[in-house]
Structures are given as C-alpha cells and as structure tokens.
C-alpha cells in the first residue's frame, strides 16, 4: 500500500487532507514540530529547518505531501523577511526532498502558491499553466525558488517524481486572515463599502484542494506538472460577501462607494496591498489541470463557503 507522509499535517490544509486520505483507506503519517499528538495517526517530531527525525519518519514511505511552510505573516517583524521565507520554504523544502530521496520515496507533492505567477491578472486574461513566473513578495519569491529547486535538482535528474500545485486563497473551516476578518464584519452587520467593485477573483475550497492532492498522489500523468488549482467559479468581491452572508444566515450591507475613492483611501492608510485583494482581479484557468488529471472540483464555491462558515 502507498504509505504517505504529510508535512504540516496538523495545519489548516493538513487536517482536512488526513481525513480525505483516511477515508480512501490510505496509510498516512504526519510530521509536526510539536511531536506526537492524540489520535490514531502516527506523528513524528520533525522540523524542516533541522535534520533530526527525518530518517525515522520517512522509513517505508512511498509519497511525501509537503505542506509545511512559512506563510503570510500579518505583522512581519523580521528585518529580512525574504531570508526568513527562504530558510523555511526553499532550504526546508530542499531538506525534505533530500531525505526523501535518500529514503527511496517515489513521489513528492509540493504545495506552492499562485503567487509565483504574480499578484493580479488583467480582465479576461487569467493565469494559465503557460504563464511565466513573476512573484512580487517574499512569500511568492520563496515558493518560486522552491519550485525551481525541486524541478532542477530532483525531477529532471530522475531522482524523485515531483508534482507542484499552485492554489490561490484557500477557504474552509478554520480559515484565517482576510476571509476570517470579513466573516467577522459580516457577523456584526457592519456596512461594507464594496458594492461598486466589479472584479473577478478565483478562490479554492480546502475540500477541492485536498481532493486534487489525493489525485496527484497516484495519477500517472501528474509527475513533472505544475498544476493550477481553483474552485472554477471566479467571483467579485460583492459576490463573495453575499455568499458569505448567505452562509451565515444574514444579509450583506454593501454601500456603493466609488472604487477610485476606496483605492485612494486605502493607499493613504498604507493599505495598497489590501486594495489589490479587494478590488483587483486574480483569475486562474484550471482547464490544463482538469485535462491532465481528468479532474474537476467536486465541491461548488457556494457549498464550500457554506461549509467553511458553518464549521468555523
């Protein structure tokens, strides 16, 4: 049987993935910096920034799903954020891959990010599998460098099969960041001045992401691919807010403030990046992924948002 090791198995995505794979009768184990935890799944104490524990954790493993990463830091305190991201996301990934190769692991599935392609798209011009990499922030840069390292030093040398998945913003039970903040504002009934925004953004439900990972673990055509992922239903910011409000059993209050005024106000407050996420476009064309793997997102966007908020 395919024995699967999941790094970051106790995180937001990892917990759902463990459930998905267990439901499919796969033998799994996880690694965690915190060590063993309650539950039937074998847990090993490993840190991507240390050599300790990996030989034991990888014994007999056929596939590694590498989720562990330094992700977006809401209040960055490091004097050199890029160095911090590189230490975990590039060198940490290299360490996992090196130990996996030495252990005879057949395949490594790496969770990257759509941010390796950039922060936004032009209207009607989504990111595709042919889009060149153009990361704009330390997180995106580190993920792009990790992708290139895996392809050049492992996949192309034939040492280990690599599958790279590039998700946009992931929603689901326990989600944090801007989506959690948005849900909090909606619960309080606060007016959200985004009614005039007419943009298109793709998101990805955690159930759809984990289904794609499960397929990528075994599909014969997955190795060597960089797969774009999304729910396949791009929505505007007002549509997202209305879907979240409906899931919460409330009604969205969306005053129509001119987008240019909102953009100027947020720029004045030093929140230009927030405006890009609220008012900009980020569309993802997943047709290449669907063709390659014969895959389609099993959960619709509204259903995913409903589940995310019902269980959060």
pLDDT value of residue 77: 73
Label residue 33 by pLDDT band (50, 70, 90): confident
Residue 83 included in any domain? yes
Q: Which residues belong to the active site?
A: 139
Q: How confident is the model at residue 266 (pLDDT cuts 50, 70, 90)?
A: confident
- Domain extent at residue 59: 3-176+198-235+280-310
- With vertex at residue 216, the alpha carbon angle to CA 228 and CA 208, rounded to the nearest 5 degrees, is 60
In this structure, what CATH number is given to the domain that contains residue 97?
3.40.50.720
Listed in sequence order, the residues at least 6 apart from 139 whose beta carbon sits closer than 8 Å to its beta carbon are 70, 71, 72, 85, 89, 113, 115
Q: How many CB atoms neighbour CB 240 within 10 A?
A: 22
> Where does the pLDDT of residue 35 fall: very low under 50, low under 70, confident under 90, or very high at 90 and above?
low
Q: In whole angstroms, what is the distance from residue 29 CA to residue 5 CA?
A: 5
When pLDDT is cut at 50, 70 and 90, the band that residue 40 belongs to is: confident
**How confident is the model at residue 175, as a pLDDT?**
85
Q: Is residue 26 in a domain?
A: yes
Tell me if 266 is assigned to some domain: no
Q: Which of 30-34, 156-160, 232-236, 269-273 has the highest mean pLDDT?
A: 232-236
CB within 8 Å of 244: residues ≥ 6 apart: 182, 183, 186, 252, 305, 309
**What is the rounded average pLDDT of the residues 250-262?**
92
- The arithmetic mean of pLDDT across residues 297-305, rounded, is 95
* Alpha helices for the chain (secondary structure H): 12-23, 54-57, 81-85, 92-102, 138-150, 177-187, 206-218, 237-247, 259-268, 272-279, 287-293, 301-310
What pLDDT does residue 74 have? 58
Q: Is the pLDDT of residue 294 over 90?
A: yes
- Of 16-30, 36-50, 215-229, the range with the lowest mean pLDDT is 36-50
Return d(Cα 72, Cα 80) in angstroms, integer: 14
Q: Is the pLDDT of residue 210 over 80?
A: yes
Q: What is the pTM of this model?
A: 0.93
Output phi, psi for 71, to 5 deg. -105, -170
- The tokens for 37 are 């935890």
Report the percentage of the chain scoring pLDDT > 70: 96
221 is a domain residue: yes
What is the Cα–Cα distance from 72 to 101, expressed in whole angstroms?
A: 29
Question: What integer pLDDT is reported at residue 291 of this predicted model?
Answer: 97
Domain count, the chain: 1
For 165-203, the pLDDT digits (tens) are 999 999 998 888 888 888 999 999 889 999 999 999 999
In this model, does residue 311 exceed pLDDT 80?
no
pLDDT given for residue 36 in this prediction: 59
pLDDT tens, residue by residue, 52-104: 999 999 999 999 999 999 987 656 677 888 999 999 999 999 999 999 999 99
Q: Would you call 168 exposed, middle or buried from its count of C-beta atoms within 10 A (0-12, 13-18, 19+)?
A: buried
Q: Is residue 231 part of a domain?
A: yes
d(CA 228, CA 284) in angstroms, rounded, equals 7
Tokens of 93: 């990934």
Average pLDDT, the chain: 92
- Position of tokens 């019902």? 310
For residue 86 the two structure tokens come to: 């590189």
Determine the Cα–Cα distance for residues 146 and 162; give it in Å rounded to an integer: 12
Region 267-279 average pLDDT: 85
Q: What is the pLDDT of residue 278?
A: 87
Give the per-residue SS3 of 229-243. CCCCCCECHHHHHHH
Task: Flag whether 261 is in a domain.
Answer: no
């Amino acid at each position: 049987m395919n024995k699967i090791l999941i790094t970051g198995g106790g995180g937001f995505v990892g917990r759902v993935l463990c459930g998905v794979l267990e439901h499919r009768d796969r033998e799994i184990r996880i690694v965690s910096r915190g060590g063993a935890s309650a539950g039937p799944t074998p847990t090993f104490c490993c840190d991507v920034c240390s050599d300790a524990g990996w030989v034991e954790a990888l014994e007999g493993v056929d596939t590694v799903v590498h989720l562990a990463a330094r992700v977006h830091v809401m209040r960055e305190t490091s004097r050199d954020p890029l160095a911090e991201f590189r230490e975990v996301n590039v060198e940490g990934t290299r360490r996992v891959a090196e130990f996996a190769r030495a252990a005879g692991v057949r395949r490594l599935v790496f969770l990257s990010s759509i941010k390796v392609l950039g922060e936004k798209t032009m209207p009607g011009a989504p990111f595709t599998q042919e889009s060149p990499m153009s990361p704009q922030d330390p997180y995106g840069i580190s993920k792009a460098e990790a992708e290139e390292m895996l392809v050049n030093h492992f996949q192309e040398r034939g040492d280990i099969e690599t599958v790279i998945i590039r998700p946009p913003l992931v929603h689901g039970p326990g989600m944090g960041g801007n989506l959690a903040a948005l849900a909090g504002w909606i619960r309080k009934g606060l007016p959200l001045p985004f009614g005039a925004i007419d943009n298109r953004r793709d998101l990805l439900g955690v159930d759809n992401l984990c289904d794609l990972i499960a397929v990528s673990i075994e599909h014969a055509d997955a190795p060597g691919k960089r797969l774009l992922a999304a729910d396949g239903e791009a929505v505007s910011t007002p549509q997202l807010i209305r879907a979240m409000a409906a899931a919460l059993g409330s009604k969205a209050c969306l005053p129509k403030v001119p987008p240019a005024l909102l953009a100027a106000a947020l720029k004045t407050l030093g929140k230009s990046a927030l405006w890009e996420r609220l008012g900009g476009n980020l569309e993802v064309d997943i047709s290449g992924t669907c063709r390659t793997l014969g895959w389609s997102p099993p959960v619709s966007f509204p259903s995913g948002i409903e589940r995310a908020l019902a269980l959060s």
